[in-house]
Amino acid sequence: MAYEPIWQNEPDKLAKFEWVKLQKDGLEIIRSIIEKYALEGFASIPADELDLFKWAGVYQQKPRDGHFMMRVRINTGIMTTEQARTIAEISRLYGRGLVDVTTRQAVQFHWLKVEHFPDIFRRLEAATLYSYEACGDCPRTIVGNPLAGIDSNELFDTAGIVEELNDYFLLNRDFSNLPRKFKISVSANIYNNGQAEINDLAFTPAVKIIGDEEVAGFHVMVGGGLSAKPMLAQKLDIFVRPEDTLKVASAAVTLFRDHGYREKRNHARLKFLIADWGAEKFREKLVELTGDLPARGEDKTAGWHAAYFDGVHPQRQEGLYYIGLNVPVGRLNADELLQLADLADHYGEGRLRTTMSQNIIISGVPEGKLQSLLQEPLLQRLSPSADHFISRTVSCTGNEFCNLALVETKQRAVQTADYLEQNVELDEKLRLHWVGCPNACGHKQIADIGLQGSLIKTPEGMVEAFDLAVGGTLGGGESSPAAQFARPLKGRIRSDEIGPVLAQLIAFYKQERREADSFHSFVERVGIPVLQERLTDILAVQA
């Protein structure tokens, strides 16, 4: 290593897996996969080595029978159609035609075998795509504004900055052994397209008068994260010029590497260090590495659109449009992705853009081609004007593939959205986020209604169920609500009763809301006790 791992000097403060990482850097697993395990097969892989597969972007999928999930990095969600075709072809050859868009703008395959990986790595690299470090204790896929470069609501184009950060951190052994994963967000969009508050490190749009010039740059937030102990990122009192973004990011990751906690895996994310240090101490330590940085300027965040872009919208470039498509719960097949690539070439600029709401955007469409594109058969399923409930439904992988999930999520989420569409009339699009376990890959804490999988005991045995949380939102500047996680309601709901229970809860909202109420403002106005009482009454009738 090019740096001294100072934490090894306190061996009694290291979790077991920290010793594994000290003996073999996670990035070494890539060579081991190619030169050994792909040749010798799944049975030859030791358990400790399987844990390191994450650095190759790979997890064992349920039921641990030799099949794997692979995650592919899509920086800020922008990929060329040739890259999309590569992804589709890998899915067709090795992944049973399945493609999932994740809540971090990445793409996931399933059903892969270790024998497939050398060819998959080659195909990805030929398309300038990588699965490396899409998982593991390292800087993960860098998320941001999927509209970078075409967005009339961004201060400047951040795509190049994201690429610079990605190129610096990817396969960099100075940062391949962090206490836990590190998630970075970069966006200059005024509607918080980068979901800043739930990332370890987030760069958000700002301006500052420096000398006689107004400079567009970033404010910085640190220490956000979800999982079982969610925390909102805290603001640092610094202003960052675009050209200094890498310097600041490198310093932040260095501080986490050298001072983050390594004793317990469930207490190792940056958010725990920030909770103990506070934002001011972190800023002081950061500036020791970066040199002086200006104080905060004027925050330009003006709202939060929850990373939704459905419909037809004008781009910054006159005469060009982008179309936001709904991909129900982020799942499509290889043939559909190939068709999307063809449509993006024929009608657009040859790019597809993935979103943190698990959807896809076709960009660069001239006005004269819009109507023809909208008539394409594929856009009947991947619709720019999907029904209200499915258009705002997000879901994690669930126990179909995930070893941590207690329940199935994606199919249940689609079924529930269909039920609500048929039984509820609502002029507002409520965000419904489904997760199969406390790790919260489906971002249930920032949903209007978050649903977390659980189990419930019945006379027939244990059955799948869900717990509810309500009123989540991220921030959007002084004129918008402050970021707040969804708050839990007591009362476990059998999975086959979710649709009727939600329909009655939404009916209560419709009955009691005021004209200016959104669901979030309604929850804030009436309070959790009132909603708890209503849910308790609903469940008593259901029993």
| Reduced 3-state DSSP string for 28-59 | HHHHHHHHHHHHHCHHHCCHHHHHHHHHHCEE
Is the pLDDT reported for residue 106 higher than 60? yes
d(CA 174, CA 3): 6
- Grouping H, G, I as helix, E, B as strand and the rest as coil, residue 60 is strand
Q: Is 343 left (phi over 0), alpha (psi -120 to 50) or beta?
A: alpha
Annotate 334-349 with b (16+ C-beta within 10 A) or e (fewer).
Answer: bebbbbbbebbbebbb
Q: What is the CATH number of domain 391-542?
A: 3.30.413.10
302 within 8 A of 204, measured Cβ to Cβ? no
β-strand partners of 493: 466
Is the pLDDT reported for residue 263 higher than 90? yes
Q: What is the separation of C-alpha 156 from the centre of its chain, rounded to a whole number of angstroms?
A: 22
The pLDDT value given to residue 538: 97
d(CA 245, CA 264): 31
Confidence of residue 479 (pLDDT cuts 50, 70, 90): low
Residues of the chain with CATH 3.30.413.10: 143-299, 391-542
Lowest mean pLDDT among 11-20, 144-153, 404-413, 441-450: 11-20
Burial classification of residue 10, based on how many CB atoms lie within 10 Å of its CB (0-12 exposed, 13-18 middle, 19 or more buried): exposed
Scanning the structure block, which residue is given the tokens 């709901």?
A: 493
Catalytic site residues?
71, 180-181, 436, 441-442
181 within 8 A of 269, measured Cβ to Cβ? yes
The pLDDT value given to residue 3: 85
Half-sphere exposure of 485 (CA within 13 A, CB side): 20
Maximal C-alpha separation, the chain: 74
Dihedrals phi, psi of 137, to nearest 5 degrees:
-85, 75
Q: What is the separation of C-alpha 338 from the centre of its chain, rounded to a whole number of angstroms?
A: 23
Is the pLDDT reported for residue 105 higher than 80? yes
Is the pLDDT reported for residue 1 higher than 70? no
The pLDDT value given to residue 201: 98
Encoding tokens for residue 161?
Answer: 């900055």
Question: Above pLDDT 70, what percent of the chain?
Answer: 99
Annotate 448-463 with b (16+ C-beta within 10 A) or e (fewer).
Answer: bbbbbbbeeeeeeeee
Convert the pLDDT of each residue in 315-342 to its tens digit.
999 999 999 999 999 999 999 999 999 9
- Grouping H, G, I as helix, E, B as strand and the rest as coil, residue 320 is strand
Is the pLDDT reported for residue 9 higher than 90? no
Other CB atoms within 10 A of residue 120 CB: 23
Convert the pLDDT of each residue in 61-79 to its tens digit.
999 999 999 999 999 999 9
Q: What is the separation of C-alpha 83 from the centre of its chain, rounded to a whole number of angstroms?
A: 20
Convert the pLDDT of each residue in 492-516 to its tens digit.
999 999 999 999 999 999 999 999 8
Tell me the pairing of strands 360-366 and 320-325: antiparallel
The pLDDT value given to residue 25: 95
442 within 8 A of 409, measured Cβ to Cβ? yes
Q: Which H or E element spans position 418? A: helix 410-423
The CATH superfamily of 143-299 is Sulfite Reductase Hemoprotein, domain 1 (3.30.413.10)
